[in-house]
Amino acid sequence: MIVFFRVPVLATLLLLFFGSPAQARTWSFRAGPQGTLRAMLDRASDGDTITVEGVVKEGVLNIDRPVCLIGKKDAVIDGGGVGEVIVITAPDVTIQGFIIRGTRISNLDDNAAIKVKECARTTIRGNRLLGCFFAIYLSGSKGAVVEDNEVIGDQVEENQMANGIHLWKCSGAMIRGNTIQYHRDGIYFEFVTDSRIERNTSRFNMRYGLHFMFSHRDGYAYNLFENNGAGVAVMFSHDIDMHHNRFVSNRGGSAYGLLLKEINDGLITDNVFTDNTTALLVDGCNRIMVERNDFLLNGWALRLYANASACTFTANSFHGNTFDLGTNGDLMLNTIAANYWDRYVGYDLDRNGEGDTPYRPLGFFSLLVERLPYAMVFSRSLLVSLLDRAERVIPSLSPEAMKDDRPLMRPPHG
Amino acid sequence: MKASFLLFLPFLVSFASCGQTVPQIDYGKAECGHCRMTVVDQRFAAALVTKAGRQYVFDGPECMVPFVAKGTVAESQVASWYVCDHAHPGTLLDATKAYYVQGPAFRSPMRGDVAAFATTAERDAAQARDGGDKLDWSQVKILHQQ
């Protein structure tokens, strides 16, 4: 009886002292002449935590075991411009609370402040990555969390910068609460699946605030994309859920609030598009549902190309846009129904909340400009507004299906 | 008569020079004629000029070749083809005379992964470093026409 009792106790004690992650130690490192962070990393075991103070400048820092690196106030890791700064090759690594800088700009190597190579469950939290070529670069990573980082490229050398948060062949990533500025693309996804992007702010980037390529079953929500060179682009991907984002002030001939190119089965709901040259461009897409979005004060609210099919536009609100809709052909295989259009001047005699006559969002001038872009100089001229009015009353150019049969009398929300 | 000829001379000169100039790519502003992406990568971008003097800019040969194969601009109408020199980013080369290497290490924007070089020495050095297959322009065209 006594023997049976003692053995489990002994086993538990042994486990407590020598086994399990419960034994993880915390080391503290202060940069100075007495030792290197590299040496301390070599002494640390799996699951240990190292707190760091001061400026660490030891060239490329390889993290090859599962440890947690925590920067105390103003701790810096400076790569010194030799190449990458931190390279992670082990699972379960955390990098938190550092200022990281000193990547080398290169045409040949994708140098990053934090490069994650083929490993799982990396956490990158609360760092400031300043003037880096690539800032955070995840390659072949699973289940990474990148949150609350401030990623600021170099404003002066912006066209030298690469992407802020770059994911390549990853899955299950969470990108949350980061701010990204002055990079090429703020957030870039290529071959990334089952991942989320939430509550980030991406602005003043040279190309796109967010860029999807060949990435599927991902979602992004509650982000702000503002003043990026060309807005946001979602290309060659399927099953992307896009909701509650704001697309603001993306202006220029090839700038879009949101550019959709060859996207299938996407959801675009509850977003706000304000002050963009083109708020939403739909090119070669199938089965996109666009619902409850606000289009405010854009050049074109919607450019829907004839190669799009089975897309539905419902319960959206169009307010103060120069053009509500533009298209490039006669074909219309999409459904536009029950939206609010501020230009609609019909009546609702049966008081069901829907106008009694259809609204035709495609003006004559919108069609003309799509064919002859330089005709834009006549925008807002008397002749154009007369022709526009005529086209709405007696439609002769616009595709017959290009109309909303149940235009709402009031904005559907807000 | 002579005076009127002189009057037109500047126009003739300007027209003549139109077709000859190497295109200027406005990186970060120009939109790819095929895939619509904004062109930023000076190692891979491409451009063509038609006989009428119109310029089209692309992310890379993987967009330029299918753009012409699709017939938006007929191949017979193309006056010159250009690709960026991978070894000297931003410099445009005559695409028909460039030396190419294709491999996954050359991550071009639309993943055609073809890099162009002005000399065989530079191309062979890149291939020695990053692997891939050597190609010439006709092979690049065949590769991207499907």
Q: Decide which of B119 and A24 is more confident.
A: B119
B120 found inside a domain: yes
Fill in the amino acid letter for B142. Answer: I
Per-residue pLDDT, A242: 97
Q: Are A271 and A291 in contact (CB under 8 A)?
A: no
pLDDT of A134 reads 96
CB A276 within 8 A of CB A299: yes
Nearest C-alpha of chain A: how many angstroms from B31?
Answer: 6
- The structural domains of chain A, ordered by start, are 24-229 (2.160.20.10), 243-414 (no CATH)
ipTM of the complex: 0.73
Distance CA A165, CA A147 (A): 11
**Strands A272-274, A294-296: parallel, antiparallel or unpaired by DSSP?**
parallel
pLDDT score for B115: 95
Number of domains making up chain B: 1
User: Residue A22: its pLDDT value, please?
Assistant: 53
Residue B15 clears pLDDT 50, i.e. is over it: no
Rounded CA-CA distance A207/A204 in Å is 9
So what's the pLDDT on residue B19? 46
CA distance A206 to chain B (A): 6
Q: Output Rg (C-alpha) for chain B, integer angstroms.
A: 17
B38 touches chain A (CB under 8 A): yes
Residues 138-177 of A with CB under 8 A from B: 159
Answer yes or no: do B31 and A253 touch at CB < 8 A: yes
Please indicate whether, in this complex, the C-beta atoms of B31 and A283 are within 8 angstroms of each other. Answer: no
Q: Which pLDDT belongs to residue A414? A: 58
Separation CA A371–CA A369 (nearest Å): 5
Contacts of A235 in chain B (CB under 8 A): 35-37
Helix (H) or strand (E) holding B140, with range, is helix B137-145
Please check whether residue B105 touches A, CB under 8 A: no
For A158, name the nearest residue in chain B, comparing CA atoms only: B28
Within a domain: residue B5? no
Subunit contact B28:A207, Cβ cutoff 8 A? yes
- Measured between beta carbons, the chain A residues lying within 8 angstroms of B35 are 235, 261
Residue B49 lies in a domain: yes
Query: Mean pLDDT for chain B?
Result: 86
What pLDDT does A367 receive?
82
- Looking at chain A, which residue has its C-alpha nearest residue B86? A107
DSSP assignment of B68-124, as one string? HHTTSS-GGGEEEEEEEBTTSTT-EEEGGG-EEEE-TTS--TTS--EEEESSHHHHH
Nearest to B36 among A214, A229, A283 (CB): A283
Would B39 be classed as within a structural domain? yes
3-state helix vs strand vs coil in chain B, percent to 5: 35, 25, 40
Amino acid at A353: G
C-alpha distances in Å from residue A336, one per residue of A285, A289, A341, B53, B112: 15, 10, 12, 40, 37
Q: What pLDDT is stored for residue B146 in this prediction?
A: 67
Reading the block at residue A41, the tokens are: 């990393």
**Quick check: B43 pLDDT over 60?**
yes
Distance from CA of A342 to the nearest CA of B (A): 30
List per-block mean pLDDT (blocks of 10 residues) for chain A, which spans 414 residues. 47 48 83 91 95 95 96 94 96 97 89 96 97 96 97 85 96 98 96 97 95 96 95 95 97 91 96 96 95 96 92 96 88 90 92 92 83 84 85 77 91 78
- Asked, for residue B48, whether it belongs to a domain, the answer is yes
What's the gap in Å between the CA of A86 and the closest CA on chain B? Answer: 21
- Check CB contact of B34 with chain A, cutoff 8 Å: no
**3-state helix, strand and coil shares in percent for chain A, rounded to the nearest 5:** 15, 40, 45
Residue numbers in B near A214 (CB within 8 A): 111
C-alpha to C-alpha distances, A105 to A41, A152, A186, B25, nearest whole angstrom = 27, 15, 17, 22
The Cα of B29 is separated from the nearest Cα of chain A by a number of Å equal to 7
Beta bridge partners of A365: none
Would the CB atoms of A107 and B89 count as touching at under 8 Å?
Answer: yes
Question: Which residues of chain A make contact with B37, given a CB cutoff of 8 A?
Answer: 233, 235, 261
Range of the domain at B48: 15-145
- A252 has a chain B CB within 8 A of its CB: yes
Q: For residue B17, name the pLDDT band (cuts at 50, 70, 90).
A: very low
A22-81 residues touching B, CB cutoff 8 A: none
Q: Which are the contacts of B128, defined by CB distance < 8 A and separation ≥ 6? A: none
Burial of A406 (0-12, 13-18, 19+ CB in 10 A): middle
A156-193: b (≥16 Cβ within 10 Å) or e: eebeebbbbbbbbbbbbbebbbbbbbbbbbbbbbbbbb
**Which of A207, A215, A263 would best serve as a mutation to test chain B binding (most B beta carbons within 10 A)?**
A207
Q: Could you tell me if residue B8 is inside a domain?
A: no
| Apex A137 CA angle, B40 and A75, nearest 5 | 115
